[in-house]
A and B are shown apart, each in its own frame.
Chain A
Amino acid sequence: QQKVQQSPESLTVSEGAMASLNCTFSDRSSDNFRWYRQHSGKGLEVLVSIFSDGEKEEGSFTAHLNRASLHVFLHIREPQPSDSALYLCAVRGGDTNAYKVIFGKGTHLHVLP
């Protein structure tokens, strides 16, 4: 069974400072990675999707995938207090999970003004 773990559980940064979130997965054959954001009491919104090794940028969000090391990172450039939310990593694919999406438990990001 695919395992998806996120770190840190909680991260506090000052407004404008780069925020970096980490997601590790267990199945190297996974082929579909997404980062979602969830504001308190709200649903999930997709931020960036990445399907091959390297980087993918969407606005102030950059995903970096390294399948060999089983990591996918999310970098948030110049975060604002409005970016304070729960960030979730979602991984799909792999030999035993060809279709299901597995979510990590999330990183709580707090951006201080």
Chain B
Amino acid sequence: EAAVTQSPRNKVAVTGGKVTLSCNQTNNHNNMYWYRQDTGHGLRLIHYSYGAGSTEKGDIPDGYKASRPSQENFSLILELATPSQTSVYFCASGDRTGGDAETLYFGSGTRLTVL
């Protein structure tokens, strides 16, 4: 079974500070995703990646950067955190297998509070 690990589980940051959320997956999936989950909005895609060295903008990329230095690791970076970025962030990995479209495997989430 896919294993996706996020760190930290909880983070409190100050407005204007830099925040890095980390994600590690151990199943050699090509694709990785960052979502945020907010009440009333559901899950929204921030950035995604097709493999090491690639990052693509999702639906709400403003204020976020992503980095995929290796197959296993995908980071989400908030250079100048704002209170509007207070949310729960989920990382997911996935890969196409057997001709079926991919299943996403999610981490347990990071709860970020920006004061």
Task: Give the contacts of B25-62 with A (CB-CB under 8 A).
Answer: 33, 35, 40-45, 48, 58-59
What residues on A are CB-neighbors of B48 within 8 Å? Answer: 100
Binding site for B on A (CB under 8 A): 31-32, 34, 36, 41-46, 49, 51, 88, 90, 92-93, 100-101, 103-106
CA distance A21 to B6 in the complex (A): 30
Interface contacts (Cβ under 8 Å), in number, total: 47
CA distance A51 to B43 in the complex (A): 21
Question: Contacts A101-B45, A103-B43 hold; do A92 and B59 have CB atoms under 8 A apart?
Answer: no
Q: Which residue of A lies closest to B9 (CB)?
A: A41
Q: Count of chain B residues with Cβ under 8 Å from any Cβ of A?
A: 23
Stretch of B12-20, B71-79, B104-112 contacting A (4+ beta carbons < 8 Å)? B104-112
- Which of A43, A90, A104, A106 has the most B CB atoms < 10 Å from its CB? A43
What residues on B are CB-neighbors of A104 within 8 Å? Answer: 42
Q: Pick the contact of B103: A43, A49, A103 (CB < 8 A).
A: A49
